[in-house]
Amino acid sequence: MAIDLGVIIDYLPGDGGRVLVSSAVAGGPGGPVTLDAAVPARHDAIAAIEPEWARLVAAMVALSPTGPGGHLRISGSLPMGAGLSSSAALCVAMAEVLAAPGTDAGPARAVARRCQQAEQLAGRPVGAMDPLACAGAAAGHALLIDFPSLDSRAVAIPPEADVVVVDSGQRRSVASSEYATRVDECAAAARVIGPLGLARPGDLGQLDDPLLRRRARHVVGECARVRHAVTALESGDLVTAGRLMSESHASLADDFQVSTPRLDDLVASLAALPGVLGARLTGAGFGGCVVALCRAGAVDPSQLGSPAWLVHASDGTVARRDGTGRRGPPG
């Protein structure tokens, strides 16, 4: 789901074929950095850009229909490197502000594909979930996504639920973690049993490699948990939805091996609190945040001893654009 923390980009168009990028995000990369507005949309060209954090910005500039010059100033409330889709929110915001004059960035699916392409140009083999949620989610709803087609539908979150996000303080990045290794391992498993999103538990026996079997078991189980969670949310069964979140974290820790001791401890401490129904890591793992499903009013984030937020399912950028004209996407 999109949340009410976000990234904002102020864009002042200019001439000269250069893009000046600066950041006012707390704990962010800083700047300013000057980029060539005509940078080609090729991985080798993007990979040559320094500092590393500017590569994603350069990739979005390269994919812009206008090849603009000017000044981009990044700010917002979304913490960086915390597993809350800060890079996706940045890309979605850039897609909006760099749209051709008199137009917008397009429908959510098109925005998500462009942002995914930019991440991959910058050396991050990510999917389209994060930008699609940032662009296409609806207030009060989670987003159920079919990834081969990027078809999606809104799933109402019961009003009796609170969602609390807690920062572990352990920073990581997709580029420096084992995220790409997990992508390769899943691809290797899929070459044997077919697309993992369509596989069933009985198919796992075809995998002779026990490591690939564990990776595929997580994906197959996670897809089943998602379908079950949709049914639970739509029926108002928060207990089941919370249990599925906790089962998801166990699978992420054991079969997918993307958790850390700090994340595991944080999940356990949250799960022990009255009114917490379930918790799991969020994002790509290896650090970042934990998200907990709670009964309304049960948890006060200010009392948790770590940076924490009570977040609300919010409109993505397309809904805000169509409804209010606001440009800053949520995470």
| Residues known to be catalytic | 130
Output the six-digit token pair for 43: 């991985």
Tell me the C-alpha distance between 137 and 143, whole Å.
Answer: 6
What is the SS3 assignment for 237-258? CHHHHHHHHHHHHHHHHHCCCC
Q: Helices 108-121 & 86-97, crossing angle to 10 degrees?
A: 110
Cβ count within 10 A of residue 15: 9
Output the six-digit token pair for 253: 């820790």
Contact by Cβ (8 Å): 142, 152: no
What is the SS3 assignment for 134-203? HHHCCCCEEEEEECCCCEEEEEECCCCEEEEEEECCCCCCCCCCCHHHHHHHHHHHHHHHCCHHHCCHHH
